[in-house]
Structure 1
Amino acid sequence: MKKILSLLLLIILAACSDQGAVDKLNENYPNVKKEMERLPKEVQQKMAAPEKLPFQSKDVQLTYAVDPAGDPKGDILHTEFTYGNEKGSVLRVTTFQNKNANFNDEGEKKTTKLKDGTEVIIERESSDVKSIRWSKDDIYYGMMLMGSEFKMDDLLKSANSMDY
C-alpha cells in the first residue's frame, strides 16, 4: 500500500511541476518576464505559445498592442511572441486579446484543420512566408513563419503544439 501511495504522490508532484510553454518563456527569457509582469493577469492567462518550433530559437521577444498606445493598463489588443534564430528565421505567435477582434473573411479562403479539429484559415502561403489564424474558446490566434526553408506543415506542427 505504501508503494502505491508513494507512486501516486510522485505522479501528482510531476504533474504539478510541468510548466506550460508560456511559463517556460517567462522563466527562460528575462525580457519576456519583464514585459509579462507589466500586463494584467487576465491578459497573461489568455496568452498561448507553441511547445514545438520549426527551428532552434536563439531569442524570444514579447510585444503587445494597447489602446491608448504605450499604456499597459489600457485595453490590450493583442500580445505576440516573436521567436528568432541567427539565420533569419522568424516565428510570430499572436493572441488577440480584444473581444472585438474582427477579421475580414470575405472571399474564398483556403482552410485546413488542426489535430483537434479546429479549422485554420491559411492567410498566406508563399515561398518565404506562411501565415495562419484560428479561433479556440472564443480567442483568436495567429501564427506566421518566415523563412524560405519551411513548408506549411512546419507551421501547422507548431500550431498543433500550442499550449493554451
Structure 2
Amino acid sequence: MKKILSLLLFFILAACSDQGAVEKLKMNYPNVKKEMEQLPKDAQQKMAAPEKLPFQPKDVQLTYAAEPAGDPEGDILHTEFTYGNEKGSVLRVTTFQNENANFNDEGEKKTTKLKDGTEVVIEAESSDVKSIRWSKDDVFYGMMLMGSEFKMEDLLKSANSMDY
C-alpha cells in the first residue's frame, strides 16, 4: 500500500512540475486565471511567460488590449503579464496577439541573440529600464525590466527561459 501511495505521489508531483509557466501563473494567481479564462482559446495558446525571473514577484497581473476596448470577445491586440515586487521592480512580458503587429524599425537598432539563435531587438537599455522584442513562430513578444539594480543580462536570462 505504501508503495502505491508513494508511486501516486511521485506521478502527481511529476505532472505538476511539467506544467508550463503560463499554467503555473494560472494556478498561483487567481486573478490571472480569472482574466485568462475570459480570453479566446487562440489568444491563450499564444501567450508565453518566462520560467526564470530576475526577482521574486509579490504579485502578477494579466492585462490585455482589445478592439473594441475592454471586450475579451473582440480582437485581442496584445496580452501582458506584469510581475512586481514590493521594492519597485517590474517585469512586463507582452505577447502581441494581432498578426498585424507592426514595429517601427526605422534607423539602426542594436540587436543580440537568444540561446536558440532568435534575433532580439534591444529597444531600451538605460540605468532604470531594459526592453527587448523578438518574434518566435510568427508571434511577436516584448519584455521590459524596470529597476536600477538589473542589467541587460538579467532580462535576457528571462527571455531565454520563455515557455512558448
Q: What TM-score, normalized to structure 1?
A: 0.91
**3-state DSSP class of the match of 1:81?**
strand
Per the alignment, residue 31 of structure 1 pairs with 31
Task: Please provide the CA RMSD for this pair.
Answer: 1.6
Name the CA distance, whole Å, in 2 between partners of 1:16 and 1:39. 24
Name the CA distance, whole Å, in 1 between partners of 2:133 and 2:17. 31
**3-state DSSP class of the match of 2:80?**
strand
Q: Which runs of 5+ in 1 are unaligned?
A: 1-6
Could you list the per-position Cα deviations for residues 86-112 of structure 1 after superposition, in whole angstroms to 9, with x for gaps in the alignment?
000000000000000000001000000
Name the CA distance, whole Å, in 1 between partners of 2:29 and 2:88. 19
Per the alignment, residue 40 of structure 1 pairs with 40
Deviant stretches of 4+, over 3 Å: 13-17
Q: How many residues align?
A: 155
> Offset of 1:15 from its aligned partner?
6.1
Name the CA distance, whole Å, in 1 between partners of 2:146 and 2:126. 10
Q: Where do 1:91-102 residues align within 5 Å?
A: 91-102=91-102
Q: 1:96 to 1:150 in 2, by over 3 A?
A: same
Name the CA distance, whole Å, in 1 between partners of 2:16 and 2:151. 35
Q: Which runs of 5+ in 2 are unaligned?
A: 1-6
> Offset of 1:14 from its aligned partner?
3.4
> Offset of 1:71 from its aligned partner?
0.9
Name the CA distance, whole Å, in 2 between partners of 1:19 and 1:46. 16
Report the identity percentage: 88
